[in-house]
Structure 1
Amino acid sequence: MPDGTEIRLGEYASTLLRREQLTPRDVDRLRALQARGCLSLDQVPAGWRLKTDSTVGILVLDHIRLIIEPKFAIPGEQLMSWLAYALGAPAPLRATARRWATGPEGYADLVAQALLQQCEQLVREGLRRDYVPHQSVGPVLRGRLDIAAQASRRYGQLDQLHVRTFDRETNIWDNRILGTALRAALTLTTGPDVARDLHSIAGAFPQAPTTDAALRALDRTQYTRLNARYRAAHTWARLLLRGGGVTDLLTDHDTSADGLLLAMPALWEAVVRRLTTEATAPHGGHAVHSSGSSGITVRGDLGSTSTFRPDVLLSLPGRDPTSRTFLPVDAKYKRYDHHSVAAADVHQLLTYSAGYTPSGDPLAVIVHPRPGEHAHRILQIGGPRGSLGNIHVLGIDTHALPQQATAWIRSALPWPGR
């Protein structure tokens, strides 16, 4: 555990660490995160220069507790609301009222509370039970006689019977995942009340042999009517079990570091995907895959075939009720409320519009976070032969709740053919 030294940084900030503040194991952990683009670590004469990127959260090292706060787009008091919206999971109570800076845990404490509340609800409703196989030896036949074990171990004696039984127990993977996540949450929170509640509820859940075993079980979990009520708890458990690098929706692969890190660009992509899908659904719109026959493919170059894939490809109704058209949408976690759109992004969106929208009206959309208020501007790209297309740049107010942006997105989106 760290010795109590806490270091706070914002996104894209840097700090100088003394040589003795990082152990060799810490350096290996940070190098692994550097390889995934989460931060950078450079050795300097005075020690180490640590620079953050767009990954926020908490990282528990051997001697320090590193807290990276969201400074750019989504304020700390709203981060849990946007995270819960992206995951489609219920947020913990008081999430919108809790500020990031009220404690050293940052949003890790709120994620732990979200898991805690879901687990408490499961305990109140009764944990799911299923048949678990057991092998035992006893004087009475109960279940099925294990003939092979009886013959090879007892040599025909019947004073003790090798039997196989199936008993309904809570010691199943749905519950083991949560028991493991609850114990992982205890290492991240320093609040005594939350720690006490986590310790109390953890006793009701069995634990997996290892964190990796719980993660493998979580990855292969299929939800049916029997375990559908576990989905929200498993969502928060996944964040906690991934530790120093959240996987699945929000980042790449887990590392050995204790912590809870969140990749903000991936979070923003998930938010935009849900916002645009929900905004167009009342008018018959829906998201489609931008791969296979619907993909933009580059062939004939050196190396393998490459593709262009927008973050969201919307299928929208046209003027004729029987016709539909595509609208590509790209999520950009950039300061496009302060800076002009980069030339590379303009080129990228023009490629999308040429590949997916009608030649007479090429359209594409950029959605970026904009603290303070919504904003809408249109980039008009032209050449010697006329218009090349329009790019609508939508800024979403991240100070508001994400649900409040849906109606504005619906009115601001360009509807092809209208």
Structure 2
Amino acid sequence: MPDRTPVQLGEYESVPLEADQLTPRDVDRLHALQARGCLTLIPDGTGWRLKADATVGVLVLDRVRVVMEPKFAIPGEQLMSWLAYALGTPVPATARRWATGPDSYADLVAAALLEQCERLLREGLRRDYVRRRSVEPVLRGRLDVASQATRRYGQLDQLHVRTFDREADIWDNRVLGSALKAALGLTAGPDLARALHSAAGAFPQAATPAAALRALDRTHYTRLNARYRPAHTWARLLLGGGGVTDLLTDHGTTADGLLLAMPALWEAVVRRLGTEAVGPYGGHAVPGGSGVGITVRGDLGNASTFRPDLLLSFPGHDAAHRTPLPVDAKYKRYDRHGVSAADVHQLLTYSSGYAPADAPITVIVHPQPGGHAQRTLQVRGPKGPLGIIHVLGVDTRTSPERATAWIGSGLR
């Protein structure tokens, strides 16, 4: 990979760029990412000013390598732990402090993939029966009579055969080979690059990254390939699919890089936190999120639908009735300022649509580095109470497991 000028900034921070640091192709790619809400690029005198939004990761452009570090709500040393928790995969050995040098989020994810791939190599790659057609000097498998007659005209010096042998060249391994190759273009550390190159040589590769992603979408895990699930999870991130829904902002068409949308990560974290936290109290998450959601019809354009990030169900006074509890994830620093009027209106709509009339309760869960916190908002109107909003701040400096225990008591 050619040398590129490193550019570092944090969430919601901005940096100036010289006019000659961005090529016209870079400008087009950055504007495409700007349209997705990942960053902002504006002219600044004779150059440019690049501002990161709620996005971290790395962008490999033609002349610069942009590293966006987590600084807003989840400390860098905890990012990989929370990411692994959201993905439901084991915490990798790369769950270390966010590097302030040339390493970045892409290096950490690549190292997590490498760790899983090396484990698979030590255990032995999975093999499965693969059908192949080939021309051999001796008979192996079954003779392809039709091909032999039409292509060799009865000659027997070369035999068209069909074989059915156990091989490692299967999709479970191909997607990992493609992901290891993709990681090489994103990593900055020479030692990591050498290790990735060495591991990539031991895996077959798909024809294109898109083909590997399609194979991942078709993959079903059984006892035969269950051990591949963590490696496939990290591979999906590097190939641009987004192991968590809408987690990645780059799909391979706008820029070479690996970008993590922090609000989407936080939503995934809250969904798992809430689901696991209420289990001991007889609660569970409503399958499918919350059904059809709250629908608005009659306006210009198509009907709009919205729903809470998580809808929990708790045991009621009798076995036949359960109490729903809408939970919304907010990637905002509500430990530093009050809940916005727009969010209050949103949560009141959820309580009206989902919560029982005698208990119009909803929950906001936000990140709060430095300690858990809880407060209660009581919303009243001229005719009496309208709803109760519990605001839970989850300490992102602690482990997800400890946060699960604390949030369980708050949601109960």
TM-score bracket for this pair, using the shorter chain length: over 0.9
Tell me which residue corresponds to 1:397. 395
Q: Please say if 1:341 is aligned against 2:339.
A: yes
Say yes or no: does 1:85 pair with 2:82: no
The AA in structure 2 aligned to 1:153 is: R
Paired amino acid for 1:68: M
In terms of mean alpha carbon deviation, does 151-160 or 388-397 score higher? 151-160
Report if the CA contact (8 A) 2:250-2:258 is conserved.
no
Q: TM (normalized to structure 1)? A: 0.93
Take 1:86 and 1:37, find their aligned partners in 2: how far apart are those partners?
Answer: 22
For residue 394 of structure 1, give the secondary structure of its aligned residue in structure 2. Answer: strand
Give unmatched runs, 5+ long, in structure 1.
Answer: none
- Structure 1 residues 293 and 230, CA gap change in structure 2 (3 angstroms): closer
Choose the corresponding residue for 1:169, options 161, 167, 170: 167
> Which residue matches 1:114?
112
Contact 1:2 1:65 (8 Å CA) reproduced: no
Report how far residue 375 of structure 1 moved. 0.8
More divergent stretch after superposition (270-279 vs 249-258): 249-258
Secondary structure of 1:100's aligned partner: coil
2:24 equivalent in structure 1: 24
Please list every run of at least 4 consecutive aligned residues from structure 1 whose deviation after the TM superposition is greater than 3 angstroms: 156-159, 245-249, 289-294
- The whole-number CA distance in structure 2 between the counterparts of 1:36 and 1:247 is 17
**SS at structure 1 position matched to 2:163:** strand
> What is the letter of the counterpart of residue 255 of structure 1?
G
User: Who is 2:60 aligned against?
Assistant: 60
Aligned: 1:261 with 2:259:
yes
Tell me, in whole angstroms, the C-alpha distance in 1 between the residues paired with 2:14 and 2:390.
34
Q: Percent identity?
A: 72
Letter in 1 for 2:90: P
Query: Which of residues 367, 388, 397 is equivalent to 2:386?
Result: 388
Q: 159-168 vs 359-368, which deviates more?
A: 159-168
Is contact 2:94-2:112 (8 Å) kept? no
Residue of structure 2 equivalent to 1:326: 324
Q: Is the 8 A contact 1:329 1:367 kept in 2?
A: yes
Which structure 2 residues correspond to residues 92-241 of structure 1 after superposition, within 5 A?
92-93=92-93, 95=95, 98-241=96-239
CA 1:178/1:291 → structure 2, altered by over 3 Å: closer, same or farther?
closer
User: 1:82–1:246: structure 2 CA closer, same or farther, 3 Å change rule?
Assistant: same
Number of the residue aligned with 2:247? 250
Answer whether contact 1:316 1:325 (CA < 8 A) is retained: yes
Q: Which stretch shows the higher mean deviation, 137-146 or 123-132? A: 137-146
Aligned length: 411
Once residues 213 and 177 of structure 1 are traced to their aligned partners in structure 2, the CA distance between those partners, rounded to angstroms, is: 8
Are the structure 2 counterparts of residues 290 and 238 from structure 1 closer, same or farther at C-alpha, using a change threshold of 3 Å? closer
CA shift in 2, pair 1:370/1:266, >3 Å: same
SS of the aligned residue for 2:50 comes to strand
Helix, strand or coil for the counterpart of 1:204?
A: coil
Mapped to 2, the partners of 1:307 and 1:94 lie a distance apart of 39
- Gaps in structure 2 of 5+ consecutive residues: none
Q: 1:247 to 1:20 in 2, by over 3 A?
A: farther
- Give the partner amino acid of 1:406: T
Q: Which stretch shifts more, 43-52 or 329-338?
A: 43-52
C-alpha deviation, 1:319, in angstroms: 2.4
Checking the alignment, whether the CA contact within 8 Å between 2:129 and 2:165 is kept in structure 1 is yes
Who is 1:7 aligned against? 7
Secondary structure of the corresponding residue to residue 101 of structure 1: coil
Q: Deviations over 1:331-358 (max 9, x none)?
A: 0001111111111111111011111111
Q: Distance in 2 between matches of 1:246 and 1:33?
A: 19
Distance in 2, matches of 1:282 and 1:246, equals 27
**1:254-293 correspondence runs (5 A):** 254-256=251-253, 257-289=255-287
For 1:317, give the aligned amino acid.
P
TM-score (norm 2): 0.95
- Is 1:71 matched with 2:66? no
Give the AA of the match of 1:171: D
